[in-house]
Amino acid sequence: MVKILWADDEIDALKPHIIFLTNKGYEVTPVRSGTEALDAMEEDNFDIIFLDENMPGLTGLETLERINVSSTKVPVVMITKSEEESIMEEAIGGKIADYLIKPVNPNQILLAVKKNVDGKRLTSEKTNSNYQIEFRKLSMDMQDRLDAKGWSDIYNRLVYWELELDKSKDPSMQEILAMQKTEANELFCKYVEKNYTDWANGVPEAPIMSHTILQKKVFPLLGSKPVFLMVIDNLRMDQWKMLSTILQDKFRIETEESFYAILPTATQYARNALFAGLMPAEIARRFPEKWKNDDEEGGKNMFEEDFLAANLKRNGFEGKFSYNKITNLNKGKKLVDNFSNLMTNDLNVIVYNFVDMLSHARTDMEVIRELADDDAAYRSLTMSWFNHSPLNDMFKLIAASGHDVVITTDHGTIKVDEPSKLVGDKNTTTNLRYKQGKNLSYKDKDVLAVKKPIDAQLPAINLSSSYVFAKGAKFFVYPNNYNYYMNYYKNTFQHGGISLEEMIVPFVHLKVK
């Protein structure tokens, strides 16, 4: 039963209201002063407190201050005769849940209780009911002959419901959604398997992909004032939706879209393609000294700035641009300190690697595994980082300077939970979601196999090389030490393969409010 504490020096006059609430199933404890209210709180726990603002002795505001010290989680509704703005502001500043102006009627009181006590339960029930309706719609829509945009829409709807059901905390509904996402990924993988090599070779119906996103969406924005391009490595759509709640105070969303990351959905391939405006096979052909294959030593993303410069030049850009890659806290702080130096550029590109590092740290560090043991916790950890990061400081400076921002990424990530056995020679690549090598042996149903790399516009280490990409939430494990590696990598976040989470990634254009 919901327990209500009501403090008012004229409490006897409110007896009809108390009877009304009692008849609705609520337990009301009436008191005549702030002091009595504090005493009652020491003896019992309450779900909501109604507090008269103008009481003798301890005023409502003074009582509120003491309540906040003792129990900040109990919602307090301030009731006042005064409509003076200063009283309202002082009450709101004192962290009240709501305020009412006397005389109040019973329905106003009931509404305050439902909003502040029953609100979460009612919202959860409504969310669950709405998702049950949407579940049927999604199931039917997924069976249609969807194109690339159709699958992007499906994924956005799934992300929306994932975030909504996070709030309801109903494990049974979250389990149903997880099952629906698994089904969606199975169908999506079949769609990609059927169409990917055509996309890679530039058929007209191909979606915007890593190698075409800058030309089609960013370069047209360049002109009268500086544009900032933020490439947050490994940023999923659900993570962007969470970050947007922070950024919306200073920016409005001009466009919010998605595009398709190329295969493999790995930094070496997808981010080089993004900056070069070319598929990996073409990058390797045009820049043989700057492209490194999987089997070569050294960093695989050392020449992104050079690739971007060549891409801008091919597209007729004659202005100034900057490129900064942030891989640690000090580099981020230094860029913030030198922000004014960016104002003379037409385009400022900032690559931020933290989310990718978080993903890998979750695999390697037990403490991070515990902090981000599921998708919801992974989103929460990303939010916590962003709130206190130099990247957030950078957005504040950009907003103050009045410039546009584009936020995007190279690929997403997925939590893997199903091992798939694969056999290859000692030169086979080590990524858990894709493999390149000779004479690969695998379960056909678990992979998209590209026997001729050039068919997917991918470079080959040698003439007999082929690629395989894991589907859905699968990850590759060798038969040797199978159980060890299965347990070590299960439920970690990986990328490189085919899934909605890895391939359909955000592209957002923000304007200052």
Using a 10 angstrom Cβ sphere, with 0-12 exposed, 13-18 middle and 19 or more buried, the burial of residue 217 is middle
Q: Is the bond preceding 288 in cis, omega lying within 30 degrees of 0?
A: no
pLDDT at residue 361 greater than cutoff 60: no
Q: Which residues contact 457 (CB under 8 A, 6 or more apart)?
A: 200, 201, 279, 280, 281, 282
Q: Where in the chain is the domain with CATH 3.40.720.10?
A: 213-413+502-512
pLDDT at position 381: 85
**More confident call, 224 vs 289:** 289
The phi and psi torsions of 97 (rounded to 5 degrees) equal: -85, -30
pLDDT confidence of residue 500: 98
Long-range CB pairs of 203-207 (<8 Å, 24+ gap) are 205/147, 205/148, 206/148, 207/148, 207/149, 207/152, 207/259, 207/260
| pLDDT class of 294 with cuts at 50, 70, 90 | confident
DSSP codes joined into one string, 331-349: HHHHHHHTGGGGGG-SEEE
Euclidean distance between CA atoms 237 and 407, whole angstroms: 11
Full-prediction pTM beyond 0.85? no
Q: Which residue has the higher pLDDT, 368 or 221?
A: 221
Q: Which CATH number is correct for 213-413+502-512, 3.30.70.20, 3.40.720.10, 3.40.50.960, 3.30.450.40?
A: 3.40.720.10
pLDDT value at residue 82 = 66
Per-residue pLDDT of 486-506, as tens digits, reads 998 998 899 999 999 999 999
Helices (H), 94-118: 106-113
CA distance 95 to 81: 19
Q: Which of the four pLDDT bands, split at 50, 70 and 90, describes residue 371? A: low
Q: Which residue has the higher pLDDT, 115 or 486?
A: 486
Residue 378 has pLDDT above 90, yes or no: no
What is residue 53's predicted lDDT score, i.e. its pLDDT?
86
Res 84: pLDDT = 60
Tens-digit pLDDT profile for residues 406-441: 999 999 999 999 999 999 888 888 899 999 999 899
Which of the following CATH numbers is that of domain 3-104: 3.40.50.2300, 3.40.50.720, 3.40.50.300, 3.40.640.10?
3.40.50.2300
pLDDT of the residue at 276: 98
What DSSP character marks residue 150? Answer: H
In a 3-state reduction of DSSP, which class is residue 1? Answer: coil
Q: List all residues 6 or more positions away from 319 whose beta carbon is below 8 Å from its beta carbon.
A: 222, 345, 346, 347
Q: Which residues contact 167 (CB under 8 A, 6 or more apart)?
A: 123, 124, 127
Residues 6+ apart with CB under 8 A from 30: 6, 8, 11, 14, 18
Say how far residue 338 (Cα) sits from the centre of its chain: 28
Phi, psi dihedral angles at 402 (to 5 degrees): 80, 25
How confident is the prediction for the chain on average, in pLDDT?
90
Stretch 301-328: mean pLDDT, rounded? 94
Q: Is the pLDDT of residue 195 over 80?
A: yes
For residue 50, which phi and psi values (nearest 5 degrees)?
A: -100, 130
Q: Are strands 48-52 and 76-80 parallel, antiparallel or unpaired?
A: parallel
Percent of the chain with pLDDT over 90: 66
pLDDT digits (tens, 9 = 90+) for 63-94: 988 888 765 578 899 888 866 656 566 656 65
Rounded percentage of the chain residues whose pLDDT exceeds 70: 93
What pLDDT, in 10s, does the model give residues 448-484?
999 999 999 999 888 889 999 999 999 999 998 899 9
How confident is the model over 34-46, as a mean pLDDT? 92
The pLDDT of residue 402: 92
pLDDT at 499: 98
User: Boundaries of CATH 3.40.50.2300 in the chain?
Assistant: 3-104
- Residue 150 has a pLDDT of 97
pLDDT band, very low/low/confident/very high, at 116 (cuts 50, 70, 90): confident
What is the average per-residue pLDDT within 392-410? 95
Read off the pLDDT band of 271 (50, 70, 90): very high
Phi-psi map region of 474: left, alpha, beta (phi>0 left; psi -120 to 50 alpha): beta
- Any idea which of 38-47, 140-149, 273-282 has the lowest mean pLDDT? 38-47
Q: Taking 60 as the threshold, does the pLDDT of residue 209 lie above it?
A: yes
> pLDDT grade, residue 398 (50/70/90)?
very high
Helix (H/G/I), strand (E/B), else coil: 436: strand
* Residue 418: predicted pLDDT: 94
